[in-house]
Amino acid sequence: MPRPIRASINLEALRHNYRIAKARSGSAMALAVVKANAYGHGLERAVRALGDIADGFALLDLAEARLLRDAGVTQPIVLLEGFFEPEDLRQVAELQLRPTVHGEAQLVMLERASLPKPIDVMLKINTGMNRLGFTAAAFPGALARLRALPAVRSITLMTHFAQSDDEVGISGQLAVFKTLAHGSGLPVSLANSAALLRFPEAVGQVVRPGIMLYGSSPMPALQRAEALGLRPVMTLTSEIIGVQELVAGQRVGYGGTFTASGAMRIGVVACGYADGYPRHAPTDTPILVGGRRTRTLGRVSMDMLACDLTHLPDEGVGSPVTLWGERLSADDVATAAGTISYELFCALAPRVPVTEKDG
């Protein structure tokens, strides 16, 4: 028998979550963000599930975009980091991808290229996040130069928010964007999941939901995924493979970071950081055994972690364990571990077998 760990990907939940994003988008085009191997869910799988309903896709890599075209995707495909060298541009045109143009170097590459076909581009403005994009000062010049290029068929203005998921919100960045975009007559793309869910004023013509498609809340401290109508897509399960009975004073795991204060029964789960479970998840991180909520104990090892079975006397070797997903929010696990569900999903290790379910 193979090691009992599994990740199950629910394709119908993915479609359901896309429809929720779409319902918030009005008439805007909703690009399913499938970068990072569809946030760890499998690019090919996600595109197979969403191919018939998604308005378009957004990702980072030219090779991934080619894979989508080869799989028959005819919708727009946005390259969120654009292109990286002049040779990329020929493929961008041939595959009819929509690159982001976010800096002077890309603009120069475009000006020097002779493209086999015209392309649509996303002109990215840095409105305050200070990651990618033209500054307010550089933007008018960049727009004028793009407009002068016959190879550029259409331009969508784009920005990305740094704090759409917290109290600060988007008003400052949105004001900068609006001032710059005003009068251009161009379509705009602003919203990631959090902005789409919280700020209807940021919908524009193209939205870019990512994490919500995978069933997590983009702002778990403010709103839970269930309250948003989202369904978990990835469920990580395993089994108890060992049980230990402890007396007061005995320790658990590497570093002995957990000490039993009384008699305890602990379960050892076949799941560790080499499977993608966060090593920094502390004692008390939630976990389900036999469908009942309990807590992890001590340090996460490479291949195993320990959990508390003291109050679950019927559970033992062979009991099913849920690490996150259905009935145990990945957001709750991530919060306990001091991270975000995005990181949990993306870290799912290649050694974990993936199964699909549809419904």
Residue 145: which H helix or E strand, with range? helix 139-147
Nearer to ligand PLP, 49 or 113 (CB): 49
Three-state secondary structure call for residue 276: coil
Nearer to ligand PLP, 35 or 299 (CB): 35
User: Looking at the annotation, which residues are catalytic?
Assistant: 35, 254
Supply 249's token pair.
């004073």
> What is the residue whose two structure tokens read 């009942």?
292
The string of DSSP letters for 63-105 reads: HHHHHHHHTT--S-EEETT--SSHHHHHHHHHTT-EEEE-SHH
Which of 276, 264, 308 minimizes the C-alpha distance to 289? 308
Supply 130's token pair.
């200070």
Instruction: Please state the closest distance from residue 82 (CB atom) to ligand PLP, in A.
Output: 11
- Give the footprint of ligand PLP on this chain (CB under 6 A): 33, 35, 80, 160, 192-194, 208-211, 218
Contacts of 45 (CB under 8 A, 6+ apart): 9, 11, 38, 354, 356
